[in-house]
């Protein structure tokens, strides 16, 4: 008896099973022309559906204060650990983004007790594991995933249970529309020749990952974040330094220059706050002597004179402080 693919499907819509999700980046060669009507329609569809994979920022921040299950600093610590493991294993940028996306969407819909303890670490491992299974061709073992200063080490079976809980809370919706979905499209909008699109997308990717810890970026849509990062990347090239948010607003429907401008300003503020500071100059330590010490040194001049010349030089180079002054 022959079995077709449709016989193996459950009650779900088959289009959902076989769809490539929001991360089906549009790969069009320059020979065919990048700005085809099909590409424009695909981008419009991504913008229409991107809110379905976002966490409402205002409600999320309110939950931080009301439930006290996790605060912004603890979330930043969890995201920082995810980024460390992401770099350690050489994961794709989308893997890190999806991990944080699962983390925030889970906390928005489900509360865990004492999130600043081991539950937060367990959730971070589970979200990173799920994202790696979605995006990475080679996935480390659950024990090898717990590196880079993990505060707690969990048994694989406990992580798998947490993964199932995350899947149920997210309603098994692991594909998500991210800023990376739009970068290539927006880069070609700035540079139709394609000469600088590689640099623009690469630089924009770095900016996205460097800002992923900031909770304030949750209020911006992925398309808005992508447009703002492309503008920041374009600012590094003299050819495109004059491209503004007003230009970006015309790239496709759904973009708003005010939102793009505020998102870009937030990125610049974050970059300024996180820039490495110069180490303070260390002045040579000066020895402070009181009058009592001076009197004692006068009475002991004989012993000093009979001692080594090093001690005399040390006394002469000291800073004397008069108690009366």
Q: List the chain domain ranges.
A: 53-169, 177-273, 288-320
Measured CA to CA, the distance from residue 54 to residue 56 in angstroms comes to 6
pLDDT tens for 159-176 read 999 999 999 999 998 988
CATH classification (class only), 53-169: mainly alpha
Does 285 have pLDDT greater than 80? no
Domains 53-169 and 177-273 share a fold: yes
CA 234 to the chain's CA centroid: 20
The residue that leads in pLDDT, 277 or 154, is 154
**pLDDT value of residue 200:** 94
pLDDT at 308: 46
- Identify the bridge partners of residue 288 per DSSP, sorted by sequence position: 319
Band of pLDDT at residue 65, cut at 50, 70 and 90: low
Dig out the tokens for 60 from the structure: 């999320």
In this prediction, residue 126 carries a pLDDT of 96
Taking residue 208's Cβ as centre, other Cβ atoms within 10 Å add up to 24
Using pLDDT thresholds of 50, 70 and 90, give the confidence band for residue 24: very low
Confidence of residue 114 (pLDDT cuts 50, 70, 90): low
- What average pLDDT does the segment 223-230 reach? 94
Which residues fall within 8 angstroms of residue 257, CB to CB, at 6 or more apart? 244, 245, 246, 248, 249
pLDDT at 103 over 70: yes
Q: Provide the angle, in degrees to the nearest 10, between the axes of the packed helices 257-274 and 222-234.
A: 60
259 confidence band (pLDDT: 50, 70, 90): very high
Identify which has the larger pLDDT, 255 or 55.
255
- Please tell me the distance from the alpha carbon of residue 85 to that of residue 82, in angstroms, as a whole number: 5
| pLDDT over 90 at 35, yes or no | no
Buried b (16+ CB within 10 A) or exposed e, 168-188: eebeeebbbbbbbbbbbbbbb
pLDDT at 67 over 60: no
With cut-offs at 50, 70 and 90, classify the pLDDT of residue 75.
confident
Question: What pLDDT is stored for residue 199 in this prediction?
Answer: 93
pLDDT score recorded for residue 164: 96
Which class is 177-273 in CATH? mainly alpha
Q: What is the pLDDT of residue 158?
A: 94
Percentage of the chain surpassing pLDDT 70?
66
Q: What is the tens place of the pLDDT at every residue in 142-164?
A: 999 998 888 888 999 999 999 99
> How does residue 83 score in pLDDT terms, banded at 50, 70 and 90?
very high
Alpha-helical runs (H) found in the chain? 14-18, 37-49, 57-67, 72-89, 93-109, 118-135, 156-169, 180-190, 197-210, 222-234, 245-249, 257-274, 291-299, 301-306, 309-316
What pLDDT sits at residue 108?
84
Confidence of residue 33 (pLDDT cuts 50, 70, 90): very low
Dist CA 21 CA 174 (whole Å): 9
């Amino acid at each position: 008896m022959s079995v077709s693919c449709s016989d193996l499907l459950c009650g779900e819509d088959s289009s959902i099973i076989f769809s490539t999700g929001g991360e089906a980046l549009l790969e069009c060669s320059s020979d065919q022309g990048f700005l085809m009507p099909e590409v424009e329609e695909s981008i419009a569809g991504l913008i229409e559906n991107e809110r379905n994979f976002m966490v409402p920022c205002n409600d999320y921040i309110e939950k931080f204060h009301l439930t006290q299950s996790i605060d912004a600093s603890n979330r930043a610590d969890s995201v920082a650990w995810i980024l460390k493991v992401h770099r350690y294993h050489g994961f794709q940028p989308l893997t890190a983004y999806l991990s944080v996306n699962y983390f925030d969407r889970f906390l928005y819909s489900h509360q865990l007790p004492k999130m600043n303890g081991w539950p937060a670490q367990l959730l971070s491992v589970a979200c990173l594991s799920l994202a790696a299974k979605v995006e990475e061709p080679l996935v480390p073992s659950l024990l090898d995933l717990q590196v880079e200063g993990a505060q707690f080490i969990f048994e694989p079976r406990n992580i798998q249970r947490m993964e199932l809980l995350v899947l149920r809370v997210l309603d098994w919706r692991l594909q998500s529309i991210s800023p990376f979905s739009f970068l290539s499209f927006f880069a070609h909008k700035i540079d139709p020749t394609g000469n600088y699109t590689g640099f623009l997308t690469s630089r924009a990717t770095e900016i996205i990952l460097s800002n992923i810890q900031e909770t304030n970026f949750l209020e911006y849509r992925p398309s808005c974040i992508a447009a703002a990062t492309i503008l920041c990347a374009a600012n590094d090239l003299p050819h495109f330094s004059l491209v503004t948010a007003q230009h970006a607003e015309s790239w496709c429907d759904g973009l708003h220059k005010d939102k793009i401008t505020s998102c870009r300003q937030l990125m610049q503020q974050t970059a300024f706050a996180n820039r490495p500071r110069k180490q303070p100059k260390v002045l040579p330590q000066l020895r402070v002597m009181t009058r009592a010490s001076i009197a004692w040194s006068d009475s002991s001049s004989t012993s000093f004179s009979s001692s080594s010349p090093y001690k005399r030089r040390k006394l002469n180079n000291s800073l004397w402080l008069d108690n009366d002054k």
